[in-house]
Homo-oligomer: A and B are copies of this chain.
Amino acid sequence: MASHGFWGLGAPENAGDNTSNQSPTTPRAWCQAAAQKLPGGIGSKLCALLSVAGEGEKPSEPTSTKLDETTVGTCGCNKPCNCLKATEATVGFSDLYSTDLLPALDGDMKTMTFLQEVVDILLAYITESFDRETKVIDFHYPNELLQRNNWELQDEPETLDDILISCRATLKYAIKTAHPRYFNQLSTGLDMVGLAADWLTSTANTNMFTYEVAPVFVLLEYVTLKKMREIIGWEDGRGDGIFSPGGAISNMYAMLLARFKMFPEVKEKGMSSVPRLAAFTSEHSHFSIKKGAAALGIGTESVICIKADESGKMIPADLERKILEAKQKGFVPFFVSATAGTTVYGAFDPLIAISDICKKYQVWFHVDGAWGGSLIMSRMHKWKLDGVERANSVTWNPHKMMAVPLQCSALLVREEVRGQRGDIPFTYHSSQCLLSLHFRIRGLLYGTIGFEAQIDKCLELSEYLYNKIKDREGYEMVFNGKPQHTNVCFWYLPPGIRYLEDKEEKKKRLHKVAPVIKARMMEYGTTMVSYQPQGDKVNFFRMVISNPAATFEDIDFLIEEIERLGQDL
């Protein structure tokens, strides 16, 4: 019989009790067998689908049975279940509430179907995010956005259908941060292994207080931090470290440790027991150094800014001068934060020279490698971090160049500071990123398909952009020379401004160009690049590349788009 042969030959092996070594005799039986082979959500969904198909079924073959209460329990779901309910759930969640899901009795099938529905929405979104035909953003102003979905919180519970509608709306109006033409932040892109680990971490939903309550995660934290310390260059990966919810916190932890190391009594007695402290960092460093000093009761005025050269690197001679100056004024220098990859220029401070000064004056040497730390994974670019192994502590954010999902920041410390670690007020008890980072590292540590390749490619793309615009008409670079990181800082001068003689007028009009082009980018949704002023420099574009999805064509597109959107200004 033709249809028998069709299904029989393709039937999965060991498909069920009633079919062992025998081909399923009906399409329904085959589909049931197939459903059994599929674990979890797919099996249940297929199973629900079969029930839908079965509802209109006429008993036309002896072996096929009409769908009724008795067949429901043997639908292929591996265990007694009630597929009719699942079917209802598939057909519409409009009568179901979150309380109908697990741990509700008989909540299994509804839960599987609901979560699978959510996953289908997410999978579709992921594919769309990488598609250049898709808008980076479908932008609306707050009031308009409020009207486009019911975001307000009502006192009446909403159905699962409403929740699913909100899931879709949330993604529709969110920025596609994985989009190959989204260049706005230092952290762009979405890695699939990292994402899978993040979903798993959410599902495990565990705190990391102790080994007792999170054996696997505590073990992974140990292994992963040790590996990071090895990469930094500390012998056998010795030292300590902690994951934190962001680079700003990691930097503050470093300052906290430096203070405690020099004045352990500060923990009990506070700053009144300590002389006036001074911290040092370059004028191009991240604002978190000042914010940390404000929080710790040190005060922003005790953070002394060191001059940077034209390309944004700290000038070591100025550091030494200011340390001496501070000492003369009665301050105690306790902390120097060098930046490996500044936020705007992507500059790397000269770590070896700075470490020499720190050693000479016995000051804690911290390296803020939140943005540039990942270059250590590249044989071609790691020289920019030469000297990092001399640091007392290092901030490193794998959620930036290493495409680990947000937020993944580590503070690595050269000395074991178990005693001090207790001084940190907020260990990151649910390290959302830990597993993602671990899996990312497992997936591609070194070698031709490793992080190195991804990082080198991002730097190659930025060099391509730099070479393309440095002598191009209508462009001016913010600083001379090849960028050290993927930051390319430039002005675009539309024809109407390009030839203005009045320098003040030119500056004034140029200041408005980047904001207008950016607003138009968002309106069209084609791409996004950030801009800012810096010191006496008017608004310029800061292009950064950290998304493994970006290509040379995307760089070409960016240039064309800036010119298209800015030519009339």
Contact = CB atoms under 8 A, between A and B. Distances in A.
B227 A153 contact: yes
Interface in A29-70: 30-31, 34, 37-42, 45-46, 49, 52-58, 60-61, 64
Interface in A299-338: 299-302
B187 A207 contact: yes
Per assembly, the copies of the chain total: 2
Contact of A114 (B116, B192, B252): B192
Interface string A180-212: 100011010111110111111011111101011
A23 to B, nearest CB: 11
Contacts of A146: 219
A499 interface: no
Contact of A116 (B6, B123, B163, B429): B123
Of the candidates A152, A178, A439, A443, the one having the most CB atoms from chain B within 10 angstroms of its own CB is: A443
Contacts of A205: 177-178, 190, 195, 405-406
Contacts of A266: 294, 297, 299
A272 B269 contact: no
Given A163-B442, A248-B425, A271-B270, A170 B118 contact: no
A438 interface: yes
B56 A10 contact: yes
Interface in A339-380: none
A74 interface: no
For the residues of A in contact with B, the DSSP-based class is helix
A271 B263 CA distance: 15
A135 interface: no
A293 interface: yes
Nearest to A144: B215
Given A115-B192, A249-B426, 5 more contacts: A111-B127, A122-B199, A151-B220, A170-B220, A199-B199
29 contacts: A9-B56, A27-B30, A30-B53, A34-B49, A40-B127, A42-B120, A101-B192, A102-B127, A103-B130, A112-B127, A116-B119, A125-B203, A142-B211, A152-B223, A153-B445, A157-B444, A175-B206, A175-B213, A177-B204, A178-B205, A185-B207, A212-B522, A246-B426, A248-B425, A270-B297, A270-B301, A272-B299, A294-B425, A297-B298
